[in-house]
Chains A and B, each alone.
Chain A
């Protein structure tokens, strides 16, 4: 999981989750977010994750986790199986984000999506002045080893939601571990959305 936000995204996500909710975290890593939510919101957690090491950490922490691919792991769930489905910093890494988000909105009553904004001011400056693909705290990878498959901006995403008739219930934007309110597509390094269908 990307920690460039210093955990402020976790606090924001927790503010949206209701007490005792059932939560499916797609790409839950070692389960840090789920454990925060178990502690603060008494949620019923379920993770889906690929990494062997992360799976072992989750089981050791007592979290329920399935070692599966997010791209295919949702099809087996019935509609509205969870109160919340979370795609935090994994949305841009799945093969078919359009399909996965549609599935997440089917399986969850509400969906949380968080991703790095590719049109953050630092990214723009690096592209413009250096003529190189940006490497920043929220996009820390080189082009040849990045797990990110899709590059999108906050504006791209809000456009997309409008076209797909996905309701944005709430959103937060962050940069350098602080909340950004003004001009998020330029000044926001991370976008975090609460969605429903």
Chain B
């Protein structure tokens, strides 16, 4: 681990879609965001569609007819991969807060092992939004020889204070919950209120003023509670519902570890912007969304600036959407078009770079 601590055997849960070709040249690694998991496409046993099912599939933007798509749950997560709720072999109990600090670099290091295990020398592309975009950037910088292209979406070279601040409020909500118990709550009551509040804050930052106005307006709920501070407005009811639902599928300690990894991420890491992508051969497509105020377009443009300074083969598009940060999951028509065509040129090898003398 980057922190210097050691983790014994690590489990990574992953899903794949499509077929790996004989040359092993059609593999695309899809990277999930904070609350995502390995289930990116198709329906699972309970009939739940993957988090990017509108982008990945037969004939879709990331066409599983052509590409072998891999998605794994991140290290530190709680959806099958090793994380704080896993059993610490030394004590026979869940790690809890004794789990070592996880970084985006550690997550990518674990993915490297997975790609090695699958026998893939070079990925056709690494693609992800938000935290997934950070992992894509990490691949570009730390493992440039293992990728032919990258698509970082709605992401940043490093968190700004506002992003850290929102994460900190989420963490404080969890740690202020008496059920958190310093992270050792496994087997008993989970810090449900704290995690739900953290998720509610998160949800606000994923939407936009316009998308909330459109979705809820000032509409009030029909079944009002007699309590004075009940959820009178639809938006309140929605946030409570999303918060409570999240508790059922997500571990509070993972939320702490993963948001910390987001905040600590800084791809520059002491380097100049002009040096960070120096010599990188991968073709890059940077995408942002107009109404995203959590990862505003200026952050994507910083990535573009680094690409320009490195003289890279790169494209940038700011997509129209009112959905805010969630747009990369929801407003997928233009996104699909751009990703699909971009992958096609990378796969066919008829991008710009092939005309170099």
Chain A interface residues toward B at CB < 8 A: 19-20, 22, 38, 42-46, 52, 55-56, 58-68, 76-78, 81
CB distance from B236 to the nearest CB of A (A): 36
Contact across chains for B350 and A64 when beta carbons are under 8 A apart: no
Contact across chains for B317 and A59 when beta carbons are under 8 A apart: yes
The 8 closest A-B pairs by CB, nearest first: A62-B345, A20-B357, A60-B341, A42-B355, A76-B305, A66-B316, A62-B351, A67-B317
CB distance from B124 to the nearest CB of A (A): 15
Contact across chains for A52 and B352 when beta carbons are under 8 A apart: no
Contact of B318 among A58, A67, A78 (CB under 8 A): A67
Cα A38 to Cα B355 in complex, Å, equals 7
Contact across chains for A55 and B357 when beta carbons are under 8 A apart: no
Cβ of A42: which chain B residues have Cβ within 8 Å of it? 355, 357
B267-297 contacts to A (CB < 8 Å)? 274, 283, 285
Cα A141 to Cα B318 in complex, Å, equals 28
Cα A63 to Cα B313 in complex, Å, equals 9
Given contacts A58-B315, A59-B317, A76-B305, contact A44 B355 (CB under 8 A): yes
Contact across chains for B317 and A55 when beta carbons are under 8 A apart: yes
Cβ of B341: which chain A residues have Cβ within 8 Å of it? 56, 59-60
CB distance from A86 to the nearest CB of B (A): 16
Cβ of A61: which chain B residues have Cβ within 8 Å of it? 345
Contact across chains for B318 and A44 when beta carbons are under 8 A apart: no
Contact across chains for B337 and A56 when beta carbons are under 8 A apart: yes
Contact of B338 among A22, A38, A56, A64 (CB under 8 A): A56
Most buried by B among A38, A66, A77: A66
- B304: CB under 8 A from chain A? yes
Chain B: CB-nearest residue to A57: B341
Contact across chains for B304 and A52 when beta carbons are under 8 A apart: no
How many contacting A-B pairs (Cβ < 8 A)? 75
Cα A79 to Cα B124 in complex, Å, equals 32
CB distance from A55 to the nearest CB of B (A): 5
Known contacts A38-B355, A76-B305; 18 additional CB pairs below 8 A are: A20-B355, A44-B352, A44-B353, A52-B334, A55-B315, A55-B317, A56-B317, A56-B334, A59-B285, A59-B315, A59-B345, A62-B351, A63-B315, A64-B315, A65-B315, A66-B304, A67-B318, A78-B309
Chain B: CB-nearest residue to A45: B352
Contact of B308 among A60, A62, A65, A76 (CB under 8 A): A76
- B20: CB under 8 A from chain A? no
Cα A60 to Cα B355 in complex, Å, equals 17
CB distance from B314 to the nearest CB of A (A): 6
Can you spell out 15 A-B residue pairs with CB atoms less than 8 angstroms apart?
A19-B357, A42-B357, A43-B355, A46-B352, A52-B334, A55-B317, A56-B337, A59-B341, A59-B342, A60-B341, A64-B351, A64-B352, A67-B316, A67-B318, A81-B311
Cβ of A76: which chain B residues have Cβ within 8 Å of it? 304-305, 308-309
Scan B323-353; emit 1 where CB is below 8 A from any A CB, else 0: 0000000000010011001100100101111
Cβ of A77: which chain B residues have Cβ within 8 Å of it? 308-309
Cβ of B285: which chain A residues have Cβ within 8 Å of it? 59
Contact across chains for B317 and A62 when beta carbons are under 8 A apart: no
Cβ of B356: which chain A residues have Cβ within 8 Å of it? 20, 44
Cβ of A55: which chain B residues have Cβ within 8 Å of it? 315, 317
Cα A184 to Cα B356 in complex, Å, equals 37
Cα A62 to Cα B283 in complex, Å, equals 10
- B65: CB under 8 A from chain A? no
Cβ of A52: which chain B residues have Cβ within 8 Å of it? 317, 319-320, 334
Chain B: CB-nearest residue to A52: B320
Cβ of A38: which chain B residues have Cβ within 8 Å of it? 352, 355
B241-283 contacts to A (CB < 8 Å)? 274, 283
CB distance from B75 to the nearest CB of A (A): 33
B105-137 contacts to A (CB < 8 Å)? none
Cβ of A19: which chain B residues have Cβ within 8 Å of it? 357
Contact across chains for A78 and B357 when beta carbons are under 8 A apart: no
CB distance from A174 to the nearest CB of B (A): 28
Cβ of A59: which chain B residues have Cβ within 8 Å of it? 285, 315, 317, 338, 341-342, 345
Contact across chains for A64 and B314 when beta carbons are under 8 A apart: yes
Chain A: CB-nearest residue to B288: A67
Contact across chains for B316 and A68 when beta carbons are under 8 A apart: yes
CB distance from A70 to the nearest CB of B (A): 14
Cβ of B338: which chain A residues have Cβ within 8 Å of it? 56, 59
Cα A22 to Cα B355 in complex, Å, equals 11
Chain A: CB-nearest residue to B337: A56
Chain A: CB-nearest residue to B354: A62
Cα A81 to Cα B309 in complex, Å, equals 8
CB distance from B327 to the nearest CB of A (A): 14
Cβ of A67: which chain B residues have Cβ within 8 Å of it? 316-318
